[in-house]
Chains A and B, each alone.
Chain A
């Protein structure tokens, strides 16, 4: 089953390597990973999507907590939360089909961020299903290149993953 973890870590050099290395050497599968700083610049937030059964997920969380630079791990999978991904899609386009392609963009509320004689770049955000759907539709025109950010997630409401931070270590 797929799980989404929000991981708060020290914003220090090498921390990403420690986390990624942990997944690699223990044979855990990362589906996607997104990293950025938080309001507190000394702390980064990683959103990690993993494919794991329950015992493996428990191990992943416990092993993450063993890293000294990991402050808090929250499992958002079963919490009401908003999941988003951003993709930029470069699609083959010419004067004949450009309008048609732009119609698809509009349906998905994708923005055109680059135009050339032979191509268009669309910027689209949404959940994974939405991104997959637009990719599928555009593929018949010829997709030249895709870049995706990986999932980022936030809990709904005023609850934050920082609640009780660091207190839960080792439990």
Chain B
């Protein structure tokens, strides 16, 4: 079959089962959009290319299917970079198509020319600059394969304008042949047996699980492993939805703003079983002191993560789901009674706490707890980045995999709101909440237009403290309260902003109004923005100061 490049893209997307594209048109992708005109693939027009990438990322995290993005050359392409990097850092499968100037113009600084493959080498799993239309089907097949297998990630295809118009033979390949790409899925049986033995000998074991549990669908085996062995589970931000937050063995999140008891448990543990997590410095604090006196089993699909940040005793390269499936067959119950009692004691000593005076100002944590209660913990949540993100991790107890999308690795403000649109598009029957800060919401507030245009009924809860709260907290603690450039007090009226876009805007000033406002938002069809005016100077505790040991937490004072 003879097709032009643009037709090949659309045909290939159909073959890959793509039903939704997030994008923004432009001169260098005219042919692509011309082909979309005749296609039944849904295109969501974002209001900024960054919004399109975050939405595609949210779609991918919520559905497990790759997010697909279209953007034009030059500025269209460069606007994608934060979104691509977010996906790369958090291992989210995406395939991004960018327009490029015609091949004859590449390298001439032509209008809207940018070397997007060059710019994104460090933040893509792989990328292609297409120079022969006949290779396009193979390239697209490879791109989807690479993006969605092994450790997932974004793959970019740069399509010169003349390639989109050029005709070639279209024969979509059934499989791929990539000699340089061969991920390991099955863990080494000998290593798994050694791990089971090490677990049996442990006295103070902790499972430390990350996003790999969620992405590989290993939540069931993780639950089995924990229950079979009576080993408590602490998770990273990325791994929060991989283990039920209300389970007796759940310790919640660890790390910089992790729970006191989780950090104590990890510090005092004699064995850490890391699954689909990467010992990020936000998790370990001071690395050399983190490893003291413990054995470490590290299970990960990416061999380069093993031994990167921390030396391990038993490395197991493989897919978390497949490895845990084998591991649960070999483990036996471990007597952790004393250990769990010790952890319970830490829980009593350092519970999460905040005060809510029902006649005073709203505490931000109270809003998160109310969202948890009003949604019965069943909403799909996205967050922006900052204090509200950490409070969400602390106070919203997740129970279902893929029910949280948050920019973990990159920590990109402006992620959460557009991501929530992608989550809702991918899971139309679910209730979707975006928990935002007043700073980060403004970074992609223009996507309100997208939400209204497509009637994407997300509920945005802005935890509005009039500050870039996380930076304000850091300046309070580490710069002697010399606040600089963190005040946002003359920010917009978010309720009116929402109304201006055609969404529903609510404003809440009193603690007693929080729950009714949430219920009203949930009953209102279409997108709703709730501006929660909260206490300005609340801090996120506990907190491990940068490069301190993980058990050296600032715990805040009980006021």
Which of A62-70, A82-90, A96-104 is the contact stretch? A62-70
- Check B180 against A170 for contact (C-beta < 8 Å): no
Asked if A164 is at the interface (CB within 8 A of a chain B CB), the reply is no
- A25-50 vs B, CB cutoff 8 Å, 1 = contact: the mask equals 10000000000000000000000000
| Closest chain B residue, CB of each to CB of A13 | B129
Q: Which residues of B contact A68 (CB under 8 A)?
A: 125-126, 146, 178, 180-181
State which of B121, B182, B302, B311 has its C-beta within 8 Å of the C-beta of A169. B182
- Min C-beta distance of A109 to chain B, whole Å: 39
Asked if A71 is at the interface (CB within 8 A of a chain B CB), the reply is yes
Q: Which residues of B contact A165 (CB under 8 A)?
A: 179
A21-B120 Cα distance, complex, nearest whole Å:
11
- Min C-beta distance of A116 to chain B, whole Å: 37
State which of A14, A17, A59 has its C-beta within 8 Å of the C-beta of B308. A59
| Closest chain B residue, CB of each to CB of A69 | B180
A9-B180 Cα distance, complex, nearest whole Å:
8
A59-B181 Cα distance, complex, nearest whole Å:
17
- Min C-beta distance of B339 to chain A, whole Å: 31
- Check B303 against A65 for contact (C-beta < 8 Å): yes
Q: Which residues of B contact A51 (CB under 8 A)?
A: none
Asked if A3 is at the interface (CB within 8 A of a chain B CB), the reply is no
- Check B307 against A59 for contact (C-beta < 8 Å): yes
**Residues 52-66 of A contacting B (Cβ, < 8 Å):** 55, 58-59, 62-63, 65-66
Count B interface residues, CB 8 Å. Answer: 23
| Closest chain B residue, CB of each to CB of A72 | B180
- Check B146 against A170 for contact (C-beta < 8 Å): no
Assign chain A's interface to a size class: 20 to 34
State which of A13, A21, A66 has its C-beta within 8 Å of the C-beta of B302. A66
- Min C-beta distance of A22 to chain B, whole Å: 8
- Min C-beta distance of A53 to chain B, whole Å: 12
State which of A21, A59, A70 has its C-beta within 8 Å of the C-beta of B180. A70
Asked if B183 is at the interface (CB within 8 A of a chain A CB), the reply is yes
A45-B66 Cα distance, complex, nearest whole Å:
34
Asked if B190 is at the interface (CB within 8 A of a chain A CB), the reply is no
Q: Which residues of A contact B126 (CB under 8 A)?
A: 68
Q: A68-B126, A68-B178 are in contact. Are A58 and B307 (CB under 8 A)?
A: yes
A171-B188 Cα distance, complex, nearest whole Å:
10
Q: Which residues of B contact A18 (CB under 8 A)?
A: 121
| Closest chain A residue, CB of each to CB of B126 | A68
Q: Which residues of A contact B182 (CB under 8 A)?
A: 166-167, 169-170
- Min C-beta distance of B305 to chain A, whole Å: 9
Asked if B304 is at the interface (CB within 8 A of a chain A CB), the reply is yes
A10-B303 Cα distance, complex, nearest whole Å:
21
Q: A59-B308, A62-B304 are in contact. Are A171 and B180 (CB under 8 A)?
A: no
Asked if B117 is at the interface (CB within 8 A of a chain A CB), the reply is yes
- A residues adjacent to B (C-beta < 8 A): 9-10, 13-14, 17-18, 21, 25, 55, 58-59, 62-63, 65-71, 165-167, 169-171
What are 21 sample pairs from A and B whose C-beta atoms fall under 8 A apart?
A9-B180, A10-B180, A13-B129, A17-B121, A18-B121, A55-B311, A58-B307, A62-B307, A65-B304, A66-B302, A68-B178, A68-B180, A70-B180, A71-B179, A71-B180, A165-B179, A166-B180, A167-B182, A169-B181, A170-B150, A170-B183
